[in-house]
């Protein structure tokens, strides 16, 4: 059974969960950012992450989904009206050494933009910002440094 942090969006109606199977491995630390390869470090949940998540959850157009990507769990929430979204990351993906789970935000234009790479270190409430026009979240296996575009196998995919 999944452990929930107090205040997470477990009460949000209409939430969907998407899961796929896992691989094996061990490794370094999570990066988040809108640029693709070489993203900056994610934001620990102790700071702005929970506040951002709760504000977005309160939007009348909030859309949410949960994903499990080989052991890394993501709680995703997006609001077009607010123009922002994000994913709270917990756990660690079980992947081959040197690989990470890259998070892709797919916009209404169909273009995939990197939100960051989840490496194989344990994560507890790491906040990854997402654009407000995100309509789908896809996680792929990519080199730990990230890729400029999705190239690896899909670990998880969910439509918001």
Predicted TM-score (pTM) of this structure: 0.75
Q: Quick check: 102 and 142 in contact, CB under 8 A?
A: yes
Share of the chain above pLDDT 90, in %: 69
d(CA 98, CA 58): 38
Say whether 48 sits in a helix, a strand or coil.
Answer: helix
Residue 62: pLDDT over 60: yes
What integer is the mean pLDDT of 70-86? 96
Question: In the prediction, which pLDDT does 6 show?
Answer: 34
Check pLDDT > 60 for residue 83: yes
Could you read off the pLDDT of 44-55 as tens digits, one per residue?
545 578 899 999
């Amino acid at each position: 059974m999944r452990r929930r942090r107090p205040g997470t969006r477990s009460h949000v109606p209409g939430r969907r969960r998407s899961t796929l199977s896992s691989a094996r491995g061990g490794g370094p630390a999570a990066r988040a950012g809108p640029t693709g390869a070489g993203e900056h470090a994610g934001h620990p949940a102790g700071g702005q992450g929970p506040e951002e998540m709760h504000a977005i959850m309160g939007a009348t157009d909030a859309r949410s989904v949960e994903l499990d990507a080989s052991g890394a769990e993501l709680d995703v929430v997006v609001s077009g009206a607010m123009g922002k979204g994000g994913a709270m990351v917990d756990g660690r993906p079980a992947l081959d050494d040197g690989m990470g789970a890259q998070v892709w935000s797919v916009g209404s234009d169909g273009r995939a933009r990197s939100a960051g790479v989840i490496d194989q270190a344990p994560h507890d409430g790491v906040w990854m910002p997402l654009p407000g026009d995100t309509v789908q979240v896809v996680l792929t296996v990519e080199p730990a440094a990230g890729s400029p575009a999705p190239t690896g196998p899909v670990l998880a995919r969910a439509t918001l």
